Structure 1
Amino acid sequence: MANIFSIGQSALTVAQAGVNTAAHNIANAATPGYNRQTVVQVAGQAGAQAAATVGMGAQVAEVKRNYSSFLGTQLLSTQSQQSQLEVQYGQIQQIDNMMADSSVGVAPALQDFFNTLQNVSTAPADATLRQSVLFSAESVTTRFKDMSNQLDEIGQGVNSQIESSVQDLNSAAQHLVGLNQAIVNAKGMPGSQSNDLLDQRDQVLRDLSKVVKISVNEQDDQVNVFIGNGQPLVTGSTAHQFKTQPSKTDSGRLEVVQDFGNQAGAPLSSQQPVGGALGGLLAFRDQTLAPAQNALGLVAIGLASGINAQQVKGYDQTGVAGKPLFDLPPVGVAASSSNQGVASLGAELGDISKLTASDFTFRLAGDQYQLLRSPDQQIVASSANADEVLAASAEQGFTLELSGELKAGDSFLIRPTAHAARGIGVALQDGRDLALASAETAAAGDSGNLRQMIGQQNAKTLNGGTSSIQSAYGQMVGRIGSQTRELQLTSQSASQINAQTETALQNASGVNLDEEATDLMRYQQAYQAAGKVMQMAQQLFSTVLDMGR
C-alpha cells in the first residue's frame, strides 16, 4: 500500500512541478530575455517485490532552461554590429543634411563671391562694386564659420553620447558582477534554481552588446567579459571601470580609457574592434567628422591662399601693391600634456596643393623622430635625425620648426586645416584696397589682376593640382553623401540580420503560449490522475484496516 501511495505522491509532485513551470513560462512570456523552462522527469528507482521488479514512480531531475548558447553568442555579435552602424548613420545624416541645405552651404556663397568679382570687372573703378566684393567676402567667410561651428556642435554632441555610453558600460559591469555572485550562491544551495538569474545575466549581456562589442567566456558559473582589444570589463566578481578624459593634445576631444586609479590605460580607438554604439561614435568622429572639418578647412585655405597670392601681385586704386584680402588662422599645433621635454613646435602652411584633409602627429618614439598621419597613425617619415623628419613635412603641405629638446615619448598634434574654416576672416575694409590692376601706373580701368583672381575659381590648386576650390568642396559633399548612402544600406542590412537572429533565438528559446497551454492541460490531467491513484491507495488501505477488525 505504501508503494502505491508513494508512487501516486511522486506523480502528484511531478505534475505539480509541470503546472508550476508552465504557469511560470506563461507569466514571463513577455519578459525581456526570458527563456522557456521545461521539467525533466525521470523514473524513480525500481524496487524488488517478490519475483518482480516494481517501479517507484517518477521524480523531477531538473527544470531545464531552454537556451541556445550558439544563437545567443551570435545575437551579441549582430546586435553590436547593428548598433554601431545605426549610430554612425544617425550621426552622418546630420552632416549630410547640413551640406545639402543650400541656405547654409558654402557652395552658393563661393559662387556669389566669384560672381561679384565678375561684376566689378565691368567697372573696376566703381566704388560700390568694389565694396560689394568685400561684402561678398564677408558672406563667404561667415558661411565657412557657421558650417565649422555646426560641425563643432556635432562633435560636442558626440562627446556627450560617449560619456553616456561609458556610464552604461560601467553600470552593466557592476550589474554583471552582482549576477555572477548571485548565480554562484544560488547553485550552491540544495534544490535551488538559477535559471531566472541566468536569463537576467544574458539580457544584461545583450544590452551591453549594444554599447560595445564584447567577448564572453564562462568559468565556474561566472562570466568574464572583454571589450576592444581584450581589455577586461568583468572578471568574475570584479568590475573594471572605464572613464572619459580629454585628449592630451585636444581638450575638446574625449577619450575612453580604462580606469586604474592613479593611472589610465591606452584610449580606445576606432582602429580597434570597439563595436556597438560607442564604436559607432568613435568611428564617426575619426572617419567622418574630423575629415569633414579638415576638408572644409582645406577649401577655406584654398580660397584665401589663392586670392591672397593674386592680391599681392596687383595694385590697388592708389597704385600701392596689394595686401591679403583674407586672414587665415595659424596652423594648429598642440603639445601633449604629458610631454616631459621643453621643446616647442611651430608650423606654417607651405605648398597648399600638397595639403590633405588629415591631422598629423610629430613625436619622438625611442630614438626615432616620427611624423604620422591620422587617424590610422601611418608613418610618413621616421629617422633618428629630427631635421630629416621636419623636412619631410613639406611634402604634406606645411613646414615644421622644432625648438628645444624633445624627450622620448613626447608628441605634438598638428592640424594644418582643421581650424581654417572657423578662423578665416576678411582683412580689408575699404574697396579701394582691392588690387585689381596689373600695373602700378595702369589706368583706372585696368583689371588685369582681377581676371587672374576670377580664374582662381576654376584653377586646380588643391589635391596635388587636381581640384579647384569649388570642385574640392563638391568632392567633400559628394564623399559625405556617398558615405551616408553606404551607411544607410549597411545599417538596414545589419538590422535585418539581427532581427533574423533574434527571431531564431526566440523560436529556439522563447515561450510559445499555445504550447504552454497544451502542457498546462497535460499536467493538469496528470495531476488529476495522480490524485486518483492516491485516492485508490487510501481506499485500499482502509479496506485492509477493515479486514483486520
Structure 2
Amino acid sequence: MSMMNIGLSGVQASQIGMNVTSQNVANINTPGYSRQQAVFGSVGSHGMNDAGNGVSVTSIRRVTDQYQTNQMFRASSMLGAASTSAQQLQRLETMLAADSMNLDQGFNSFFSALNGSSPTPYSSANRQQIVSEAEALTNRFNQLSSSVDGQFSDLNQQRTSAVAQANSLLSNISQLNEEIRKGEVSGANTSALRDERDVMINELSEIVDVRVTDPGDGTLELSLPNGQPLISGNQTAQFSLATDPNNPQSQVLSLSFNGQDFPIGSDIGGKLGALDAYEKDVLIPSQEIINDIALEFATAFNDQLAQGFDLNGQPGKPLFVFDPDNPASTLSIDPDFKPEDLALSSDGTPGDNGNLLKLIEIKDQEFDIVHLGSQTLGGAYNSMLGDIAVKSRQAQSDYQAAGNIYVQATVEKSGTSGVNIDEEAVSLMKYQQAYQANLQVINTANQTFAAVMQLF
C-alpha cells in the first residue's frame, strides 16, 4: 500500500478514536453509561518488502466487568429488600405506638375507672364512667384493627405496582436481548443497547433478586435465586397475583413461564420478597396477637360479670359483644347494656364490690397469648410493640448497611466502566496528535510524489 494510503488509514483510525472519546465525554453524566474504547489493529503486509498497510479500527469495545455488574445487581436487590422492610416496620411501629392506638393505655384507663368505683360500686356516675371507658377501649381495638387491615391493603397495592413494573422490565429486557443479538450478527455497535439493558436489570433487581447468565450470543438469561427462569432464549416469564385462599386480605405471587405456573415466596428477594416476609413474619402475627388480646379480655370480663349481680340483684350479663373469628374489629358494647347492669356485687347487695374486685384482678391476670406465651393484657401489647421496635431498629441498620454496599458496588463498577474526564482528555490529545502526524505523512507522500513528477 502507498505511503499516502497508510497515512489515510491512520487519519481515519484517529478520527474514530476522537469520535469514541467525544462520545464518552458527552455521556459523562448519563446514568448507566459504560465508556467505550476504539480497538486498533495493524493491517498486515503483502510481501517481504512490504512494511504493512496501515491501521484499522477492529472494534469499538464497551469497557465493563460483568462480575462487578452482577455485584451491583445483587447490591440493588439487597437495598430494595432492606428499604422495603425498614419502611414497613417503621410505619407499623409508629402506628402501634400512637396514643390513640396504644392498648396498654386503654387498659389502664378502663381499669382505673373500675378502681375508682370500688368505694361506691352503686354510684350511677361511676358506673357510667366504666361503660364509657369500656366503649373507648373497644374503639381502640376497632381503630387498631382497621389500621392493620389498611396495611394489608397497602401491601397489596405495592405488590400490584411492583409486579406490573417487573413484567414491563422483563418484556423490555427481552426485546433488548433480541436487538443486541441481531446487532452482534450484523457487526453493529451494541454498547448503548447493552447499557440500557443493564439499567433495566438493575431496576428489576430492586424488585426481585436476579441471577444473570451470559450464553455468549449477546443476550443475557435471567433467573430467580432458586433457579426459576425469568428470561431464557426467546421465552419471557411474567409475574401474577391472586387472592390468597387462606387469607382474603392477602395475595399470593406466582410466576408463569412457557405455559407453567410456579408459586413464589419470600425467597425471591428484592422488594417483592421483603413485602412477603414482612406480611408473614410481622403483620399477620401482629394481627393475630391483637385479636387474641381482644378475645381473651372480652371473654374473661364477660365470664367474670356472669359471676356477679347487678344493681337489681339480677345475675350479670355480658358487657362486650364480638365475632370470635375477628374479635378486635367487631368488639363493641352491647347496645342494650345499661350502667345498672354492671354486675359488681358478689352477693346481690348494691353496696358490695366483691365481683368488682375480681374484675379489677383481670388487669394483672396472665393469659396465653398467641406468639407471646403467658402475658398480662397490657404486657402482651407492650411485648408486641417492643418486638416490632427491635425489628424496626435492625431493619434501619440493615438498610444503612445495604445502602453502603450498593454505593461501594456502584463505585467499583464506575471505576471500571465510568468515564474519567482526565483520562479522556489525555486520549483526545493522543488521537489529535496521531491525526496531525498522519496528515503530515500524507503531506510528505504528496510532496514526494510531486518531486518525482518533476523529474519527467
Structure of greater relative contact order (alpha carbons < 8 Å, 6+ residues apart): 2
Question: TM-score, normalised to structure 1's length?
Answer: 0.79
Tell me the equivalent position of 1:423.
Answer: 330
| Alpha-carbon RMSD | 1.8
CA contact (8 A) 1:228 1:268 kept: no
CA distance, structure 2, for counterparts of residue 420 and residue 294 of structure 1:
10
Partner residue, 2:340: 432
Paired AA for residue 25 in structure 2: I
Q: Does 1:448 align with 2:354?
A: yes
Note the C-alpha offset of 1:462: 2.5
Q: Please tell me whether residue 38 in structure 1 is matched to residue 32 in structure 2.
A: no
Pairs within 5 Å for 1:9-408: 9-48=8-47, 50=49, 54-190=51-187, 192-219=188-215, 220-227=217-224, 229-259=226-256, 265-270=261-266, 273-331=267-325
Query: Residue 113 of structure 1 contacts residue 136 of structure 1 at CA under 8 Å; is this kept in 2?
Result: yes
Name the counterpart of 1:520: 428
Find the residue that maps to 2:261 and give its secondary structure.
coil
Distance 1:231 1:309 in 2: 54
Whether the 8 Å contact between 1:326 and 1:425 is mirrored in structure 2 is: yes
- Separation in structure 1 between the aligned mates of residue 81 and residue 102 of structure 2, nearest angstrom: 28
How many angstroms apart in 1 are the aligned matches of 2:284 and 2:113?
32
Percentage of matched positions with identical amino acids = 31
In 2, are the aligned partners of 1:462 and 1:469 still within 8 Å (CA)? no
Asked if 2 retains the 8 angstrom alpha-carbon contact of 1:178 and 1:237, the reply is: no
Tell me the CA shift for residue 264 of structure 1.
7.2
Kindly indicate which of the two structures has a greater share of residues assigned to helix.
Answer: 2
Give SS of 1:478's match. helix
The residue type paired with residue 510 of structure 1 is: G
Q: How far does residue 105 in structure 1 lie from its aligned partner after superposition?
A: 2.0
C-alpha displacement of 1:221: 2.2
SS of the residue corresponding to residue 223 of structure 2 reads strand
Amino acid at match of 1:209: S
Residue-by-residue CA offset, 1:274-329 (whole Å, 9 max, x unaligned):
11111121122111111111111122122112212211111222222212221221
SS at match of 2:368: coil
Letter in 2 for 1:73: N
**Cα distance, 1:425 vs structure 2:** 1.4
Please list the CA deviations of residues 62-104 of structure 1 after superposition, one character each: whole Å capped at 9, or x if unmatched.
Answer: 2111101111111111110111110111111111111222233
Structure 2: stretches of 5+ with no match in the other structure: none
2:372 is aligned with 1:461: no
Residue 462 of structure 1 aligns to a residue whose secondary structure is: strand
Structure 2: distance between partners of 1:182 and 1:264: 26
Counterpart position of 1:535: 443
Q: Which moved more, 1:244-253 or 1:487-496?
A: 244-253
Number of equivalenced pairs: 452
Deviations 1:106-164 (A, max 9, x none): 22211100000111112111112112111111100001111111111121111111001
- Amino acid corresponding to residue 308 of structure 1 in structure 2: N
Matched residue type, 1:325 = L
Q: Secondary structure, in 3 states, of the residue corresponding to 2:248? A: coil
Mark the runs of 5 or more structure 1 residues left unpaired by the alignment.
Answer: 332-418
Alpha-carbon distance, 1:260 to partner = 6.6
Distance, in Å, in 2 between the alignment partners of 1:461 and 1:249 is: 27
How many Å apart are 1:55 and its aligned residue? 3.1
